[in-house]
Structure 1
Amino acid sequence: MDPHRLWRTRRELLRDAGLVGTGLAAAAAGVLPAGPASAAPPGVRNLPRSWYDRPGLEGMPRIDYESMPVENVRDHGAVGDGRTPDRAAFDAAVDALQAKGGGVVYLPTGRYLFPPPPPPTPHYWLRDLTNIHFVGEGESSVVVFEQPGITGPNDYAPKYTFTQGWAFPNVVNVSLRALSLTWTPLSQMRDGRPWYAIVLDGGQGAQFVGVHVDGGQPGIWIPGGRDKWVVDCVVRNTASDAIHFQGATRSVGAYNYVENANDDALANFTNTADTPDTTKIGDVRFAYNTVVFVGWGRGLTFGGSRQRIDHNWVEAQVEAGIYTDVGIFEGAPNAPLYDAAAQDNTLVRTNLAQREDNAFYRYGTGGYQGAICVRDEVRGMRVERNRIAGSGVHGMTFGIEGWRPFDGTDVVVDSNVVERPLGTGIRFIQTATADRIRFAGNEILDTGTASVSVEGTLTHVTTRDNEVTTPPSVTGSVSGDFDGFTVVDDEPRYRDAYHDFRVAADETGWSQPPSGPRISPRTAVADVRRFGARGDGRGNDLPAFERALRSLPASGGVLRIPAGTFVLRPPTGPDAYPDTRIRHHLLVAGRDDLRVEGVGEDSVLVFTSADHQGIRFVDCTRVALAGVRLELRPSTPLRHNRALVELSATRDSVVEHVTAAGSSGPGVLVDSSRSVAVRDSRVQRAGTHGIEIAASRQVFVDNCTVTDARDHGIFLSWLGSIACAPQYVRFSGNRVAGTREGAGVAVIGGDHVSVADNAVDRSYLAGIYLYSRCGNFPPGRVEVTGNVLSDTNTGRLSHTPGAIAVHSLQRGRTSADVLLAGNTIRRTPYAGIWVGGPTPIGTKLADLARLELRDNPVTEAGGPPVDISAAQREHIDHLQI
């Protein structure tokens, strides 16, 4: 097995978990309605021997499910319709099993609702469990936790300091297998209240196998205890950590997939408040995990003794990819990290947040400064065979300038490849000291500054067989052999398609919207039918599309899609662009002046995998997608975050007259690109946001219609394949008609952002929502003008008390300058415009440099036209109403 092929289809996951063929796999096809109560299956199959035979799972205890009694929650009154509270049925099923000494709680396909408990009780479900195992039918056995919503026009304040969905303290022999946990509505505010999806506190013997978590702050939390295993789990869209082992012992996280977390992906912090002697917190391993798109915090962290992080993939991480930590609680003592190993990991584009345009902290100040960041006391560490590509600062740093020193002994840095960091390959800061350190067999290529920079003090150094393209620099002191570096002229293997976007200067003014490819009567045309595409809705037409695309010259062309239903199944071979774990159905890479065009709604492209982008344009210039309908079949119970069309690292390009229906993520995604227009298009039933603009500049979204998006109708973010402040982004003349959990138009960052002349109706949250995901990239100038907002905040659990809501914006070296003018607000249960402040999910006030409100008529509102508390006004430098 390819150790980095860590993604799995739902059927693969069910098969490998031993569920396919047992009658428990009906969920594999997607969202299914809740059915009537059914008899429990005669038994649940054990995981097959081959499942345990993978590297990293040595020593994992084997649970004998086949010998256990089974209780079906439906037989105890669970409805599973997502509307009826089901906690009592789960209690009854557990009670029945505990009377038998334990067994399996079986969750058929359905959505099992756990509503908020009576305040201030923080636990949605709190139980001591021994020998209890929860088994579902895969992703579509969903446990739903409801966020608390606003209870009245003047009752916004949070009712809880924190909540825990399922909380099982002191567990003994407990497992969760092939089921899902999700929060609704989704919130990714790092400074909101913590909403834990599941907590297994202390105890001994717990396993998570094939569990999906969508949302939560954090997702899976495992403080203390021993023998905890998290394997083959998928955690997405958390507001803080995805999977957190804190002070755990003899535990493993392996083969997990984490995407779009808002803090550490897999963490193992030292809890020195509870266990000052970190030699007693040991033997935790993170292996063969995949981490992509993390907006705050680190990829993988470790602290304690005998910790190992190996064979992981970390990509598009705003902070350090791998990080050592020696204490977590304020006032608790630090403690050394003993006998640690970071081996065979791949880290691609980490430290993305440390940029001049990030007003929270800029290059070289704050942050973690290295793809691998090692700080404080280390007593024995091996950093071996890692590949580090495209770090935003240094490849490795020992110590954090301006914050934390480094004091290490017995450190081995062997056989690593560091390619194209924007800073130094390996850096020891001025306050770093290390004794007995070895550098051997490393390749450090195409660095922004020195290959190795020693500003501190290294003693008893040995070096040999290191190849570098830039000589080392020593401004501190080195004793021992430091001559084992050879300057070579080798080219790195890593080609960074995002490099120019990462280092580009700030935009200084609006550009004209792009017109797309240069097409002439002599431009080559390839009709996909001529290359074997049938368009009958049955066979796989992807090979024909690829042949047609290859036939066009590099100078440009037209890929023509006639009327028909063309099924595009993912390729059976390579299905990802180099150096990424984001997969695709149809890849268009490195093309200029290419137009992919159909005849309109009759040119239908059907994509079959929720875990692949539909059409992915990467590293293209002047391309266009026009006149096609894109669909994902079937749908999925949870967000999978994949777009039907994505433009990534792409310039001067256009999406027009396109319909995107039923995506597992955004309908249209513009990622880390410049000069892109999305116009005259429709997005229906998006699995996350209708149209998402991420880490891009000079983007124009005009005259589009978004209906029934799960999250925000139109969303502007600073995190994509890179992180940067969006600049000169315009949303104009669009209509958002209905959202299931989100706002109409939402902005979490950007400078010179215009939200003008749009119509929003029936939004679950605010019609227009400006808020902070975390401290990174606080917004600059945002203008919201001429919009018409009707029937906003219609969601039963809405937490935004204004048709226009400005919430928790943070102040870095600059802060937001917001204009709200000429907007018409009709029918909202709360205020017309609200700025704050306390809500059911958080209390952080918005920090604003300037807020100007003028000529915003409000009719049929349940609250005042403008609601800005006295406390909030103190956080606005210049307020004009």
Structure 2
Amino acid sequence: MLALAALAVAVPAVPAFAATQWWSATPQVQIGKDAKVNVRNKGAKGDGVHNDTAAFQAAIDSLPASGGTVVVPAGRYMIDAEKSIRMRSHTRLLLDPSAELVVIPNSVGRSRLIRVWNVTDVRIVGGSMTGDRAKHMGTSGEWGMGIDIIASKNVVVKGVHLSEFWGDGLYIGAKGSGRYLKVSENVTILNVVSDHNRRQGLSITPAKNVYVVNSTFSNTRGTLPEAGIDIEPQVQGPTSSIRLENNTFIGNHGNGIELHTNISDIAIVNNKMTSNRGFGVLSVGASNLKIERNQATQNMLAAVGITHSAHDVEIRDNVLQYNSTRYMSAAKSGGGLDRDLQIGSQAYRVSRAGNTYSNPKYND
């Protein structure tokens, strides 16, 4: 996957991007206004020993049908990720900055700390969440998730630190298939750090209108693909209207951003990709991409790779310098264009303009 063909001749591209702005860092999410419950009042200890799963669920379930806010004071709360904390519609989980939710070690390959499944209007704000990868008792599976968002609408995750999960820090996807497919829609990931998770910082499968902004995805390592963000719906169903903006991708054992087929209207804007073991951005047959005003430096392979039958791609006004550090010095200018940008021979309708490379003679 990482070995691309020779650089193809660029031709004008006209990707199919949304005509109107659908994203916002302050999306409207309808949370119940009148009800508020503290998890301590439902029996949560937060002492790093007691299993607090039932107390969290009791707090959520005690809210009226109109929803409300569950308050989590400072403390270390042990959670059974096989049972999960299950969010309801119109509900906010509000964590103190010193509150930490910790997965009780298990042996299963599939678990979720928080399930946001088939609900609408949910906010998860603040605190930190820690997986069990260091103490995991099994060896198989790759789906031990932090926050798992499935078939849900109007979801915001803000200011949360996620680390050490057996699978992904965050996962966004769908349920069902074919005509019965229900994708997640209108999901905003804001000011989040997803660090040292085993499979992915964030996976996006069938979804629509996902905005990831001002977040960091770092040090993913353990089981493939080991990307910061992996957008990989493939045959599950379509993914469209994804915007990655002002994020940092650093130190991932795979690619900073990885993109696969069955996606459209993907904008990667003003991000920083550095010191990833693979590419800064790798498109494996993905189409309708805008890669604009990013800085990709010191990645072990090229800054940007467009491979297989990827098409309708704009690469514009990026700084793509000092990459291919597996083979070349990060401090040395020069080299071929493919040090920073690789376009496979099967890719088509790929345009580039205004980019800066390690070797100035290739600048657009």
TM over 0.5: yes
2:57 is matched with 546
Q: Deviations over 1:158-180 (max 9, x none)?
A: xxxxxxxxxxxxxxxxxxxxxxx
> What CA distance in whole angstroms lies between the structure 1 residues aligned with 2:268 and 2:201?
16
Superposition map of 1:145-156 within 5 A: none
The reply to whether residue 865 of structure 1 matches residue 362 of structure 2 is yes
| Code of the aligned partner of 1:784 | I
* Shift of residue 735, structure 1, vs aligned partner: 1.4
The reply to whether residue 698 of structure 1 matches residue 241 of structure 2 is yes
Superposition map of 1:614-693 within 5 A: 614-632=146-164, 642-649=167-174, 650-687=184-221, 688-693=226-231
> What CA distance in whole angstroms lies between the structure 1 residues aligned with 2:318 and 2:60?
41
SS of the equivalent of 2:56 reads helix
| 2:290 maps to which of 754, 770, 778 | 754
Contact map agreement 1:509 1:728 (CA 8 A) in 2: no
Alignment CA distance shift 1:853-1:624 (3 Å): closer
* Shift of residue 728, structure 1, vs aligned partner: 1.1
* Shift of residue 705, structure 1, vs aligned partner: 1.6
| Code of the aligned partner of 1:586 | I
| 1:715 maps to which of 227, 233, 258 | 258
> What CA distance in whole angstroms lies between the structure 1 residues aligned with 2:290 and 2:151?
27
Alignment CA distance shift 1:854-1:662 (3 Å): closer
| Code of the aligned partner of 2:337 | A
> What CA distance in whole angstroms lies between the structure 2 residues aligned with 1:590 and 1:827?
51
Contact map agreement 1:592 1:621 (CA 8 A) in 2: yes
Q: Deviations over 1:347-377 (max 9, x none)?
A: xxxxxxxxxxxxxxxxxxxxxxxxxxxxxxx
2:302 is matched with 766
> What CA distance in whole angstroms lies between the structure 1 residues aligned with 2:84 and 2:33?
34
Contact map agreement 1:540 1:567 (CA 8 A) in 2: yes
**What are the ranges of 5 or more consecutive residues in structure 1 without an aligned counterpart?**
1-186, 193-505, 576-580, 634-639, 719-724, 773-777, 804-824, 837-844, 867-880
| 2:324 maps to which of 773, 785, 793 | 793
Contact map agreement 1:734 1:758 (CA 8 A) in 2: yes
Alignment CA distance shift 1:188-1:850 (3 Å): closer
Contact map agreement 2:311 2:350 (CA 8 A) in 1: no
* Shift of residue 556, structure 1, vs aligned partner: 4.4
* Shift of residue 856, structure 1, vs aligned partner: 3.3
Superposition map of 1:456-535 within 5 A: 509-514=19-24, 515-519=26-30, 522=33, 524-535=35-46
Superposition map of 1:221-620 within 5 A: 509-514=19-24, 515-519=26-30, 522=33, 524-553=35-64, 555-571=66-82, 582-598=110-126, 603-608=127-132, 609=136, 611-620=143-152
> What CA distance in whole angstroms lies between the structure 1 residues aligned with 2:159 and 2:352?
40
Contact map agreement 2:168 2:198 (CA 8 A) in 1: yes
> What CA distance in whole angstroms lies between the structure 2 residues aligned with 1:534 and 1:828?
59
Q: Which fold has the larger relative contact order, with Cα–Cα distance below 8 Å and residues 6 or more apart in sequence?
A: 2
* Shift of residue 544, structure 1, vs aligned partner: 3.2
SS of the equivalent of 1:544 reads helix
Superposition map of 1:773-852 within 5 A: 778-796=309-327, 827=333, 829-831=335-337, 835=342, 846-852=345-351
Alignment CA distance shift 1:734-1:574 (3 Å): closer
> What CA distance in whole angstroms lies between the structure 2 residues aligned with 1:536 and 1:607?
17
Alignment CA distance shift 1:767-1:560 (3 Å): farther
| Code of the aligned partner of 2:275 | G
The reply to whether residue 735 of structure 1 matches residue 272 of structure 2 is yes
> What CA distance in whole angstroms lies between the structure 2 residues aligned with 1:574 and 1:629?
17
Contact map agreement 1:525 1:559 (CA 8 A) in 2: yes
Alignment CA distance shift 1:551-1:566 (3 Å): same
> What CA distance in whole angstroms lies between the structure 2 residues aligned with 1:611 and 1:853?
37
> What CA distance in whole angstroms lies between the structure 2 residues aligned with 1:785 and 1:834?
12
Structure number with larger C-alpha Rg: 1
Q: CA RMSD in A?
A: 3.5
> What CA distance in whole angstroms lies between the structure 2 residues aligned with 1:546 and 1:749?
42
Q: Deviations over 1:633-677 (max 9, x none)?
A: 6xxxxxx6x211112121112111111121111112222111111
| Code of the aligned partner of 2:196 | G
* Shift of residue 708, structure 1, vs aligned partner: 0.9
> What CA distance in whole angstroms lies between the structure 2 residues aligned with 1:756 and 1:826?
24
Superposition map of 1:167-206 within 5 A: 187=1
> What CA distance in whole angstroms lies between the structure 1 residues aligned with 2:51 and 2:334?
48
> What CA distance in whole angstroms lies between the structure 2 residues aligned with 1:748 and 1:557?
42
**What are the ranges of 5 or more consecutive residues in structure 2 without an aligned counterpart?**
6-15, 87-108, 137-141, 175-183, 234-238
> What CA distance in whole angstroms lies between the structure 2 residues aligned with 1:539 and 1:680?
34
> What CA distance in whole angstroms lies between the structure 2 residues aligned with 1:521 and 1:553?
8
* Shift of residue 751, structure 1, vs aligned partner: 3.5
Aligned residues: 303
> What CA distance in whole angstroms lies between the structure 2 residues aligned with 1:689 and 1:593?
28
> What CA distance in whole angstroms lies between the structure 2 residues aligned with 1:188 and 1:559?
45
Alignment CA distance shift 1:626-1:865 (3 Å): same
Contact map agreement 2:321 2:357 (CA 8 A) in 1: no
SS of the equivalent of 2:61 reads helix
> What CA distance in whole angstroms lies between the structure 1 residues aligned with 2:269 and 2:71?
29
| Code of the aligned partner of 1:788 | V
> What CA distance in whole angstroms lies between the structure 2 residues aligned with 1:562 and 1:855?
49
> What CA distance in whole angstroms lies between the structure 2 residues aligned with 1:507 and 1:858?
26
Superposition map of 1:85-124 within 5 A: none
* Shift of residue 697, structure 1, vs aligned partner: 1.0
Alignment CA distance shift 1:766-1:616 (3 Å): same
| Code of the aligned partner of 2:160 | V
Contact map agreement 2:316 2:353 (CA 8 A) in 1: no
SS of the equivalent of 1:690 reads strand
